Amino acid sequence: MNRINLKLSENKKLLSIYFTAGYPTINDTVSIIQELEKSGVDMIEIGLPFSDPLADGPTIQASSTQAIQNGMTTELLFDQLKNIRETVTIPLLIMGYFNPMYQYGIEAFCKKCNKIGIDGLIIPDLPLKEYEEQYKSIFEANNLKNIFLITPQTSTERIIQIDTISNSFIYMVSSASVTGGSTSFGENETAYFERIASLNLNNPQIIGFGINSKQTFQKAIKNQNGAIIGSAFINFLEKNKITSIHNFIEQII
């Protein structure tokens, strides 16, 4: 069974952390992953830097720009992760935009992910229909879960479509803003969380965007299965040493 599904089967609320590969420095990727697992994180989303990250806010955009300037590439990321399963057991996902994966070759990209132990991909700009018609069989052949995003504006009909084709979890974007765009959840977000919970979807939901503290984490997991922290963690990395990552995680859980 895929490691994501195994983790989702545990009777607990999950904390997933996003960070940009190659940031703060080019060789930090593996050390950050190892420290996150030691600190009790359940899943990790490794951001593949891209020059035009439309869904990302200033913090992640800046980290992506810095990572590219540092020399991070798709091939280098794969090389850095080639032995990651010797030391890390929790689910690892790559989150990125479709263009770099397409340039690499989708089948080649998926095969490489499978070889090094990546469990899933989050590709915000890959349309549902295109995935289903052209790439679903490639993902499945390489034991990769494709994670789809929904937002407060996503229609119930489309949510049901996404739920039908998904087989791990659904990434619930908390609001219409970009990553890092909000610092708390109000009545609108709470109503959205409750509405999605009431649909009784087949796939668990994990909330991202706007999770930056113990308070927002607790609100996010009240009705859903977990939460993802990205911008707040990258801000932490900018100012602190990798060896102090456990201090950040302790403040959340």
Distance CA 195, CA 224 (A): 11
pLDDT at 53: 58
Residue 70 · residue 26 · CB < 8 Å: yes
Residue 220 has pLDDT above 90, yes or no: yes
- Of the pLDDT bands very low, low, confident and very high (cuts 50, 70, 90), residue 186 is confident
- Of the pLDDT bands very low, low, confident and very high (cuts 50, 70, 90), residue 181 is very low
Residue 184 has pLDDT above 70, yes or no: no
88: helix, strand or coil:
coil
Query: Looking at 110-119, 183-192, 233-242, which range is the least confident one?
Result: 183-192
- Of the pLDDT bands very low, low, confident and very high (cuts 50, 70, 90), residue 175 is confident
Residue 183 has pLDDT above 70, yes or no: no
Residue 225 · residue 204 · CB < 8 Å: yes
Token pair for residue 87?
A: 């030391």
Query: Looking at 50-54, 71-75, 210-214, which range is the least confident one?
Result: 50-54
249: helix, strand or coil:
helix
Distance CA 132, CA 114 (A): 19
Residue type at position 42: D
Length of the chain: 253
Number of neighbouring beta carbons within 10 Å of residue 201:
18
Q: How confident is the model over 156-162, as a mean pLDDT?
A: 97
Residue 99 has pLDDT above 70, yes or no: yes
Q: Tell which residue, 169, 25, 24, has the closest CA to residue 91.
A: 169
List active site positions.
Answer: 45, 56
Q: How confident is the model over 201-214, as a mean pLDDT?
A: 96
Cα dihedral 200, 89, 100, 174 in deg (nearest 10): 30
